[in-house]
């Protein structure tokens, strides 16, 4: 689709953009210093030297003549946040090594290169090969800089130093069936394609930095947990930049929330048309059954196009829609010059442990540091399956909110905990005493986790139920539980007198160009031909819905059942995903902030589904208050004694065989 508005910035836009830039630089500290940038460049240069030496050593070992050995080459490329230019201090660098046909992944990359790096203890630490990842990766620290290195093997005798990965013809040099190489290449190809498709790279970068920070503080930055990862947020921001090509970051952030609050999922977000060419399968729900069950399609722009957000579930989609609505409300208030709202309000951390009355606590432990790191990564990658199982088992009665990170218990070595908030979906009728049995899905989850092929003695898992009042102190900053903020805080701020900002975006997915609406009496006053506005007066101030309205029914388990089934199936060739889509980004400081921040709003989301016959469609509404769930026959976490049962059940959730293991 074409741009919504070609209007340039106003004085108000310039002022708010300068404020945003100062906040990101000074308050959030998102820009690294020159010294750290130089260290990263030196590390990348050294890594490139090492892989070149590695390939020459392999070619010599295979008996090639010295002339061929001298020409032997490998090359390192970057992708992800570093390549996009939005990485923060201390972030890891996603790197790709491209090697020739005679250097295999298992023997060469995970064999000889791993051995070479392991013999450099002064430079290389925390070396961890991950063979069974969706995109196999070597993880390590090089002179203190975290590196994720993936490998692509091309059917070329020599890798040219000027190799261009952006051309589709590069895929002709991939051996048939080598999907791991296609996925590895796509990390770089997608990143470079995004940079070519945005109208202004600098405004794109500032806007993306803002959205990444917001997503981390609001707890929706994690592809592995079922939310969105770095590449997903980059694609969403790039699309907004295309809709408003002449806008500054402040307006782009505002329109980001406006557009995605009203976007009619599962209509896909596309930066460019999907094209076919070399016989690889692309995302196409008309032909691929698997693609029809994607709830939030965000399509990659490089061939072969694919859905980068296939991990999203009904629960996580509704949580994100609620956060889009909150962001939209705050941006409207800032545009109305309400002094109670500023950029700091947008970035306030979501108090996860105040938001629910009931949680699942997943405790893990291992016998040593190396085993614990591998075990934790495996369990983390499986938690999305628990979300799907609960949605399936309860027929949509419960919504799951997985926390996008773990919390180590420093009093116990090699122990950590994951948490998942539980609540009744809004549209489920209250039937006091109706049992909801989670024992089976929890057992199935533990069985799947314990099937880890590299599991060793001491690697264990325990799942238990905890009430909000019994959340362990080690999840809070400094180990100190804070007093709960009043649930009415956000509502009071929303109801405070402020000028109305009218003019919502209308039908972004329309094939015809839709122009930007007017902003009432605000700084921005535009009236362009063809303007189409939605009637915001008829909407409840806390509602999040698709546009136009749809008939909503209680979500059944069909989508989750199919998603869970497909998630358990072996990977199929049409889902060739870049490495960044499946690796959890290591933003632990952000996760801690997300858990311990003051709660500014206690709204949570309930999931409902409407099916138009072509695929799933989801809309959500705020739940005004939190209900109490009653859990029967529970086993308590390892660190505490049972708490008193709650006297007023709404839904009884029956755990039968939760507690097992030694954690």
Strands in 435-437's sheet, in edge-to-edge order, are: 435-437, 651-654, 629-632
Taking every pair of Cα atoms in the chain, the longest distance, rounded to a whole number of angstroms, is 82
Can you spell out the DSSP letters for 609-653?
A: EEE-SSSEEEEEEEESSPPPEEEES----TT-PPPPPPS--SEEE
Known binder of ligand: residue 363? Answer: no
Task: Give the integer Cα–Cα distance in Å for 533 and 575.
Answer: 37
The pair of three-digit structure tokens given for residue 434, joined into one six-digit string: 């109706």
Cis peptide before 367 (omega within 30 of 0): no
Known binder of ligand: residue 92? Answer: yes
Known binder of ligand: residue 79? Answer: yes
Per the CB < 8 A criterion, the answer to whether 365 and 637 are in contact is: no
651-654 and 435-437 strand pairing: parallel
Known binder of ligand: residue 381? Answer: no
Known binder of ligand: residue 82? Answer: no
Task: Give the integer Cα–Cα distance in Å for 565 and 649.
Answer: 32
Per the CB < 8 A criterion, the answer to whether 328 and 257 are in contact is: yes
* CA 303 from centre of chain: 22
Task: Give the integer Cα–Cα distance in Å for 366 and 376.
Answer: 9
Task: Give the integer Cα–Cα distance in Å for 139 and 125.
Answer: 9
CA angle, 279 then 284 then 288, to 5°:
85
- Residue of 651, 663, 226 whose CA lies nearest to 422: 651
Per the CB < 8 A criterion, the answer to whether 123 and 143 are in contact is: yes
The pair of three-digit structure tokens given for residue 233, joined into one six-digit string: 């947020």
The pair of three-digit structure tokens given for residue 552, joined into one six-digit string: 């909503």
Known binder of ligand: residue 148? Answer: yes
Can you spell out the DSSP letters for 388-449?
A: HHHHHHTTT-EEEEE-SS-EE-TTSTTEEEEEEEEEE-TTSPP-TT-EEE-HHHHHHHHHHH
Contacts of 403 (CB under 8 A, 6+ apart): 219, 225, 352, 418, 419, 420, 421, 591, 594, 595
Q: Which long-range contacts (CB under 8 A, 24 or more apart) does 277-283 make?
A: 277/168, 277/303, 278/168, 278/171, 278/172, 278/303, 278/304, 280/171, 280/182, 280/304, 280/573, 280/574, 280/576, 281/573, 281/574, 282/306, 282/574, 283/307, 283/574
Task: Give the integer Cα–Cα distance in Å for 516 and 20.
Answer: 22
Rg (CA), the chain: 25
Known binder of ligand: residue 37? Answer: no
CA dist 368 → 376, 558, 585, 599 (Å): 12, 41, 23, 36
543-544 and 398-402 strand pairing: unpaired
Task: Give the integer Cα–Cα distance in Å for 469 and 471.
Answer: 6
Per the CB < 8 A criterion, the answer to whether 263 and 325 are in contact is: no
**Phi and psi, residue 74, nearest 5°:** -140, 160
Per the CB < 8 A criterion, the answer to whether 609 and 314 are in contact is: yes
Binding residues: 79-81, 92-94, 148, 221
Binding residues for ATP: 79-81, 92-94, 148, 221
Binding residues for Mg(2+): 92, 94, 148
């Amino acid at each position: 689709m074409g741009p919504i508005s070609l209007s340039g910035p106003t004085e108000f836009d310039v002022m708010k953009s300068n404020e945003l830039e100062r906040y990101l630089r000074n308050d959030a500290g998102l820009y690294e210093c020159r010294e750290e940038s130089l260290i990263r460049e030196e590390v990348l240069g050294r890594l490139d030297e090492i892989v070149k030496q590695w390939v020459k050593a392999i070619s010599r070992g295979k008996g090639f003549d010295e002339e061929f050995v001298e020409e032997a080459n490998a090359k390192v490329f970057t992708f992800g946040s570093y390549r996009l230019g939005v990485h923060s201090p201390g972030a890891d660098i996603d790197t790709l090594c491209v090697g020739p046909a005679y250097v295999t992944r298992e023997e060469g990359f995970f064999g000889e290169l791993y051995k070479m790096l392991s013999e450099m203890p002064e430079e290389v630490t925390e070396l961890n090969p991950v063979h069974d990842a969706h995109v196999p990766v070597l993880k390590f620290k090089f002179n203190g800089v975290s590196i994720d290195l993936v490998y692509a093997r091309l059917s070329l005798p020599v890798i040219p130093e000027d190799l261009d990965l952006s051309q589709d013809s590069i895929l002709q040099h991939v051996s048939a069936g080598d999907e791991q190489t296609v996925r590895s290449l796509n990390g770089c190809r997608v990143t470079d394609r995004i940079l070519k498709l945005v109208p202004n790279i600098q405004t794109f970068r500032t806007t993306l930095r803002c959205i990444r920070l917001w997503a981390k503080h609001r707890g929706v930055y994690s592809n592995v947990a079922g939310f969105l990862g770095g590449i997903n947020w980059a694609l969403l921001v790039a699309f907004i930049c295309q809709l408003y090509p002449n806008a500054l970051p402040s307006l782009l952030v505002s329109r980001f929330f406006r557009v995605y609050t009203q976007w009619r999922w599962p209509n896909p977000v596309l930066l460019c048309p999907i094209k076919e060419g070399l016989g690889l399968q692309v995302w196409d729900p008309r032909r691929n059954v698997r693609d029809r069950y994607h709830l939030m399609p965000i399509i990659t722009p490089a061939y072969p196009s694919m859905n980068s957000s296939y991990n999203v579930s009904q629960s996580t989609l509704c949580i994100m829609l609620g956060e889009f609505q909150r962001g939209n409300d705050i941006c409207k208030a800032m545009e109305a010059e309400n002094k109670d709202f500023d950029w700091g309000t947008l970035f306030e951390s979501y108090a996860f442990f105040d938001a629910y009355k009931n949680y699942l606590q997943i405790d893990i432990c291992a016998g040593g540091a190396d085993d614990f790191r591998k075990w934790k990564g495996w369990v983390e990658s499986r938690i999305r399956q628990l979300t799907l199982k609960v949605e399936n088992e309860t027929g949509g009665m419960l919504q799951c909110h997985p926390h996008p990170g773990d919390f180590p218990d420093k009093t116990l070595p090699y122990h950590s905990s994951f948490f998942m908030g539980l609540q009744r979906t809004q549209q489920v009728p209250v039937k006091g005493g109706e049992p909801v049995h989670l024992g089976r899905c929890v057992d199935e989850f533990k069985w799947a986790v314990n099937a880890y092929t590299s599991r060793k003695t001491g690697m264990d898992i325990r799942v238990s139920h905890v009430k909000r009042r019994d959340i362990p102190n080690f999840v809070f900053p400094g180990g100190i539980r804070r007093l709960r903020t009043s649930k009415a805080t956000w509502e009071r701020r929303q109801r405070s007198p402020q000028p109305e900002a009218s003019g919502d975006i209308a039908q972004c997915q329309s094939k015809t160009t839709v122009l930007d609406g007017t902003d009432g009496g605000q700084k921005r006053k535009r009236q362009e031909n063809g303007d189409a506005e939605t009637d915001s007066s008829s909407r409840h101030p806390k509602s999040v819905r698709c546009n136009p309205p749809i008939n909503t029914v209680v979500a059944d388990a069909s989508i989750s059942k199919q998603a869970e089934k497909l998630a358990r199936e072996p990977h199929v060739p049409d889902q060739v995903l870049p490495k960044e889509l499946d690796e959890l980004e290591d933003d632990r400081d952000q996760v801690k902030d997300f858990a311990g921040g003051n709660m500014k709003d206690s709204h949570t989301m309930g999931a409902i589904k409407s099916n138009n016959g072509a695929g799933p469609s989801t809309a959500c509404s705020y739940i005004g208050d939190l209900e109490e769930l009653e859990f029967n026959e529970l086993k308590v976490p390892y660190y505490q004694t049972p708490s008193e049962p709650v006297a007023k059940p709404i839904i009884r959730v029956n755990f039968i065989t939760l507690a097992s293991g030694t954690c």
